[in-house]
Amino acid sequence: MSFKEEIARRRTFGIISHPDAGKTTLTEKLLLFGGAIQEAGAVKSNKIKKAATSDFMEIEKQRGISVSTSVLAFLYKDKKINILDTPGHKDFAEDTFRTLTAVDSVIVVIDVAKGVEEQTEKLVEVCRMRSIPMIVFINKLDREGKDAFDLLDEVEQKLGLRVTPLSFPIGMGYDFKGIYNIWEKNINLFSEDGRKNIEDVISFEDLESPELEKMIGQKSATDLRNNLELVYEVYPTFDRNAYLSGNLQPVFFGSALNNFGVRELLDCFIQIAPAPRAKKAEERLVNPDETDFSGFVFKIHANMDPKHRDRLAFIKVVSGTFERNVAYLHVRHNKKLKFSSPNAFFAEKKEIVDVSYPGDIVGLHDTGNFKIGDTLTGGELLHFKGIPNFSPLHFRYINNADPMKTKQLDKGVDQLMDEGVAQLFTLEMNNRKVIGTVGALQFEVIQYRLEHEYGAKCSYEPLSIHKACWVATDNPKSDEFLDFLRVKNKFLAKDKRGQLVFLADSAFTLQMTQDKYPSIRFYFTSEME
Cβ-Cβ contacts under 8 Å for 293 (sequence gap 6 or more): 317, 319, 320, 321, 322, 323, 328, 376, 377, 378
**Cα separation, 208 vs 228, whole angstroms:** 12
Over residues 30-47, the mean pLDDT reads 51
- Fold designation for 3-173+235-272: Rossmann fold (3.40.50)
Between these two residues, 198 and 80, which has the higher pLDDT value?
80
* Banded model confidence at residue 17, pLDDT cuts 50, 70, 90: confident
Instruction: Answer whether CATH 3.40.50.300 is correct for domain 279-377.
Output: no
Over residues 302-319, the mean pLDDT reads 72
pLDDT at residue 523 in the model:
83
**Cα separation, 350 vs 343, whole angstroms:** 6
Over residues 276-289, the mean pLDDT reads 91
Over residues 167-174, the mean pLDDT reads 83
Cβ-Cβ contacts under 8 Å for 49 (sequence gap 6 or more): none
What angle, 0 to 180 degrees and rounded to 10, lies between the N-to-C axes of helices 148-159 and 118-129? Answer: 60
Over residues 207-217, the mean pLDDT reads 77
Cβ-Cβ contacts under 8 Å for 300 (sequence gap 6 or more): 311, 312, 313, 314, 366, 370, 371, 372, 418, 419, 420
DSSP string, 171-234: S-GGG--EEEETTTTEEEE--S-TTS-TT-EEE-S-TTSTHHHHHH-HHHHHHHHHHHHHHHHH
- Locate the DSSP E strands across 303-405: 311-319, 322-323, 327-330, 335-338, 343-346, 349-352, 355-356, 361-365, 375-377, 394-400
For the chain, give every domain's residue range.
3-173+235-272, 279-377, 394-523
pLDDT at residue 192 in the model:
56
For residues 30 and 79, the answer to whether their CB atoms sit within 8 Å is: no
CATH for 394-523 is 3.30.70.3280
* Banded model confidence at residue 344, pLDDT cuts 50, 70, 90: confident
Phi, psi for residue 151 in degrees, rounded to 5 = -65, -45
For residues 448 and 455, the answer to whether their CB atoms sit within 8 Å is: no
Q: Kindly report, residue by residue over 65-88, the tens digit of the pLDDT.
A: 443 446 778 888 888 888 886 654
Q: Which of 19, 22, 15, 14 is nearest to 256 (CA)?
A: 22
**Cα separation, 329 vs 52, whole angstroms:** 37
pLDDT averaged over every residue in the chain? 81
pLDDT at residue 328 in the model:
94
**Cα separation, 15 vs 107, whole angstroms:** 5
Between these two residues, 190 and 243, which has the higher pLDDT value?
243
Q: Which of 272-286, 357-371, 390-404 has the highest mean pLDDT?
A: 272-286
